[in-house]
């Protein structure tokens, strides 16, 4: 089986920042790593790995931690497609210049 390539440095930095944020949120709420682990259905070792920004942690564990902190809605808005300016610009560039009605066929009742 082919191993996955290591994540790019910007991805690792982002995971480290997310882990540090989870650690800070946990400590501000006076929760131990074991307390958070029990609430998200994981082990204290997994919480340590989350807080260290380990790239192998399942996304569901990050989501559960955010739910514990009352911040799950922020995950829902990470890639809001209504605000995706690059995607919307690309879609708009592919729009046809004119829209024509399809020619009717005798079966469809068109003329």
CATH number at residue 41: 1.10.260.40
104 located within any domain = no
Tally of domains within the chain: 1
103 located within any domain = no
**Residue 111 to residue 109: CA distance in whole angstroms:** 7
pTM for the full predicted model: 0.74
DSSP, residue by residue, 6-69: PPPHHHHHHHHHHHHHHHHHHHHTT--HHHHHHHHTS-HHHHHHHHHT-TTS-HHHHHHHHHHT
Residue-range definition of the domain harbouring residue 70 = 9-93
59 located within any domain = yes
**Residue 98 to residue 94: CA distance in whole angstroms:** 12
Confidence of residue 4 (pLDDT cuts 50, 70, 90): confident
| Per-residue model confidence as pLDDT tens digits over 61-104 | 999 999 999 999 999 888 888 888 888 899 889 888 888 888 87
């Amino acid at each position: 089986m082919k191993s996955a390539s290591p994540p790019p440095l910007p991805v690792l930095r982002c995971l480290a920042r997310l882990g540090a944020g989870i650690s800070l949120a946990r400590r501000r709420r006076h929760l131990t790593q074991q307390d958070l682990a029990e609430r998200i259905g994981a082990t204290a070792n997994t919480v340590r790995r989350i807080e260290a920004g380990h790239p192998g942690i399942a996304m569901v564990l990050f989501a559960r931690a955010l739910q514990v902190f009352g911040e799950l809605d922020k995950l829902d808005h990470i890639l809001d497609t209504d605000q995706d300016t690059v995607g919307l610009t690309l879609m708009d560039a592919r729009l046809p210049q004119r829209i024509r009605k399809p020619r009717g066929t005798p079966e469809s009742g068109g003329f």
